[in-house]
């Protein structure tokens, strides 16, 4: 496998990574280099798709071993990171990709990673061989910043957006780590909302037992103005943005609040609580956006409702989509977030063709 032709997927056998490998193979991209600490598990995606050794190769790679990470990146023209949790990965894999002269897509990687990469990304973007680094190419953040852009682009005078995102799902150890630690100021502000061009704190109360089209039962919604929501508001000129995290079950919300209050770091109770919610309510995920044109009151004029069984499949969809767009050369060099550089309308069409979710735009 030649370095210039390899697409490396780190963590390519996890809940997101395996689905990314499957999508890249279906799109005819490759060959694929699946990397991770467990070579036996890394062979599973290829075995399930029936891919041969010329299409998929396995390489043992340890995130904590710079030599093995460098050896992996050296064989890639594009690195897709699906390893986590992102608060631990930060810019480690991206820098290995840059050193190897490879482009980079991260299914996670929010503002903390971007802040650490800005200087490096700009330096490489200014070179003749400018490298591309796309972060937050997942369901949330990612699709959550792309879908509302479709509504805004179709509206004459968009003024207000309400977003509700979440559901019930099992937590992988990496996802549990991100859920636990992605609540500081570098990720967003609880109870805040966007008003007239700025973040206004302590504006919105939690909502309980509300019915929304994206979710099969009443849910609890907790206001959290994420950094992605702020970027969206600034990019679109919206006057008001109300952004809510949805918990379909009660156990995870309770355990998360308790663990954060005690400043705990153990993710095992969160994983167990999420499993309890899934056992009782099943697994489902949704995103619902409501847009107002003109007066920011009364009924919304436009809406987008996304329903899915598996949020990990949604993240895999966008990570693979971002990788394909990088490979075709339609993403600008430098450090960027997926929602800022992928075409919203084209992404929505690709999502409909993928079949991993049901999306209704009205």
The residues near 272 (Cβ < 8 Å, ≥ 6 apart) are 255
pLDDT (0 to 100) of residue 5 = 72
Interatomic CA distance for residues 193 and 234, integer angstroms:
13
Distance from first CA to last CA of the chain, Å, rounded?
47
- Phi, psi values for residue 262, rounded to 5°: -90, 0
256: Cα separation from own chain's centroid: 20
Interatomic CA distance for residues 183 and 226, integer angstroms:
9
**What is the full per-residue pLDDT of the chain (362 aa) written as tens digits?**
444 479 999 999 998 999 999 999 999 997 999 999 888 887 777 677 667 667 889 999 998 899 999 999 999 999 999 997 787 888 999 999 999 999 999 999 888 899 889 766 455 544 445 899 999 999 999 999 999 999 999 999 999 999 999 999 988 888 888 777 776 677 889 999 999 999 999 999 999 999 999 999 999 999 999 999 999 999 999 999 999 999 988 898 888 888 888 878 888 999 999 999 999 999 999 999 999 998 878 889 999 999 999 999 999 999 999 999 999 999 999 999 999 999 999 999 999 999 999 999 99
Rg (CA), the chain: 20
> 184: buried, middle or exposed (CB in 10 Å: 19+, 13-18, 0-12)?
exposed
pLDDT (0 to 100) of residue 123 = 52
pLDDT (0 to 100) of residue 183 = 67
pLDDT (0 to 100) of residue 3 = 43
The residues near 251 (Cβ < 8 Å, ≥ 6 apart) are 273, 274, 276, 277
Interatomic CA distance for residues 336 and 196, integer angstroms:
25
pTM to 2 decimal places: 0.92
Single out the residue of 269, 276, 226 nearest to residue 247, CA to CA. 276
237-273: buried (b, 16+ CB within 10 Å) or exposed (e) per residue? Answer: ebebbbbbbbbbbebbbebbeebeeeeeeebebbbeb
pLDDT (0 to 100) of residue 184 = 67
Orientation of helix 344-354 relative to helix 311-328, angle to 10°: 130
């Amino acid at each position: 496998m030649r370095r210039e032709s390899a697409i490396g997927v780190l963590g390519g056998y996890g809940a997101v990574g395996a689905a990314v490998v499957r999508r890249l193979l279906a799109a005819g991209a490759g060959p694929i280099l699946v990397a991770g600490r467990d070579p036996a598990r890394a062979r599973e995606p290829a075995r399930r798709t029936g891919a041969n050794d010329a299409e998929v190769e396995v390489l043992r790679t340890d995130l904590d071993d710079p030599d093995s990470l460098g050896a992996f990146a050296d064989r890639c023209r594009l690195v897709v990171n699906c390893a986590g949790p992102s608060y631990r990965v930060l810019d480690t894999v991206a820098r290995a990709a840059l050193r190897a002269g490879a482009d980079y897509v991260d299914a996670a990687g929010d503002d903390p990673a971007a802040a650490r990469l800005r200087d490096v990304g700009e330096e490489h973007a200014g070179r003749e061989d400018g490298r591309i680094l796309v972060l937050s190419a997942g369901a949330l953040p990612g699709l959550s910043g792309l879908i509302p852009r479709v509504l805004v682009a179709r509206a004459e005078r968009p003024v207000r957006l309400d977003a509700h995102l979440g559901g019930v799902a099992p937590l992988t150890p990496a996802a549990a780590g991100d859920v636990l630690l992605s609540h500081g100021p570098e990720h967003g502000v609880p109870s805040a909302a966007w008003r007239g061009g700025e973040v206004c704190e302590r504006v919105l109360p939690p909502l309980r037992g509300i019915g929304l089209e994206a979710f099969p039962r009443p849910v609890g919604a907790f206001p959290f103005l994420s950094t992605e929501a702020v970027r969206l508001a600034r990019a679109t000129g919206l006057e008001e943005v109300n952004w809510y995290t949805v918990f379909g079950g009660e156990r995870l919300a309770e355990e998360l609040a308790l663990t954060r209050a005690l400043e705990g770091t153990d993710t095992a109770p969160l994983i167990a609580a999420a499993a309890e919610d899934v056992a009782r309510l099943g697994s489902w995920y949704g995103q619902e956006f409501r847009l107002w044109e003109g007066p920011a009151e009364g009924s919304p004029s436009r809406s987008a409702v996304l329903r899915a069984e598996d949020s990990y499949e949604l993240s895999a969809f966008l990570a693979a989509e971002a990788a394909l767009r990088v490979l075709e050369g339609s993403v600008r060099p430098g450090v960027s977030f997926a929602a800022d550089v992928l075409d919203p309308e084209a992404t929505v069409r690709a999502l409909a063709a993928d079949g991993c979710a049901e999306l209704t735009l009205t």
